[in-house]
Amino acid sequence: MLQQIDIANVLFLDIETVSGHKNYKDLEPHMQELWSYKAPNAVRRSGEELSEEEISDAYTEKAGIYAEFGKIVCISVGIVVRDKNNHLSVRLKSFADDDEKKVLTQFSELLNQYYQDPARQYICGHNIKEFDVPYICRRMLIHQVHHPAMLQLHGKKPWETKHLLDTLELWKFGDYKNYTSLKLLAGVLGFPSPKDDIDGSEVGRVYWEEDDLDRIAVYCEKDVLATVQLLLKFMYMPLLTDEQVTFVDRRQSSET
């Protein structure tokens, strides 16, 4: 299958998420109650009764991974382009903003303008089928942002979503027991690890305490670049060098 894919038709992506509010106490009372039901599962203590402090700490640490309690602060994307000499390069940029609806709308506009054909175009990411894509779709619904064609997944059979290329799924080779991180695959397959600044557990702190969206965007773009390199490995193609990578200012237009 991969040999039939033109990598120039692939949109690579990664998202970064945080809790919807800085602290548990900032939630509306009914959402506090709903989080108190979710918290034991979030910290893998299902069936236990947590203290108020434990519920609050669980919100700070885990709410961002749930689309019902978190929000997207950054969507980074990458495209591989081919010049007239058939040389490849990649362009990376981020949609990052405190206003989640703005982030989702800009991303939706990108898909609607350039990626409208699931029959020949693809979205690629690491664990996107279990996390990134469902999270994006759920948050779009919450904000009433219409799903572009590439994200209209309701009722679709597995063979109807082949335009979603999940590098974690590709690495499993049919094994569904284990999760393998992008960082580990980078080390195993011999390309630079994307995690050289912060890791996922620190994104909430960097956002809420340091107010540093730029740092989060850089982190997210490195994940996208690592995913590009990983797919190239799967396709038995040469890795990209630093000279073949362009970072587009995320505060400019919404085009890649």
pLDDT of residue 253: 36
pLDDT of residue 251: 43
> 171: which 2 tokens?
């690495």
Whole-number percent of the chain with pLDDT over 70: 96
Characterize the bridge pairing of strands 164-166 and 122-125.
Answer: parallel
pLDDT digits (tens, 9 = 90+) for 119-134: 999 999 999 999 999 9
Segment 172-196 mean pLDDT: 86
Going by pLDDT thresholds of 50, 70 and 90, the confidence category of residue 3 is confident
Query: Which domains are present in the chain?
Result: 2-17+76-236 (3.30.420.10), 21-68 (no CATH)
Going by pLDDT thresholds of 50, 70 and 90, the confidence category of residue 255 is very low
Separation in Å, CA 80 to CA 57, 83, 92, 139: 41, 10, 9, 27
How far apart are the C-alpha atoms of 15 and 77, rounded to whole Å? 9
How far apart are the C-alpha atoms of 9 and 83, rounded to whole Å? 14
pTM of the model: 0.93
Asked whether the predicted pLDDT for residue 153 surpasses 80, the reply is: yes
Instruction: Count Cβ atoms below 10 Å from residue 91 Cβ, excluding itself.
Output: 15
**Dihedral angle of Cα 203, 107, 130, 200, to the nearest 10 degrees:** -10
Question: Going by C-beta distance under 8 Å and a sequence separation of 6 or more, which residues neighbour residue 243?
Answer: none
How far apart are the C-alpha atoms of 58 and 19, rounded to whole Å? 11
- Mean of the per-residue pLDDT values for the chain? 93
Asked whether the predicted pLDDT for residue 249 surpasses 80, the reply is: no
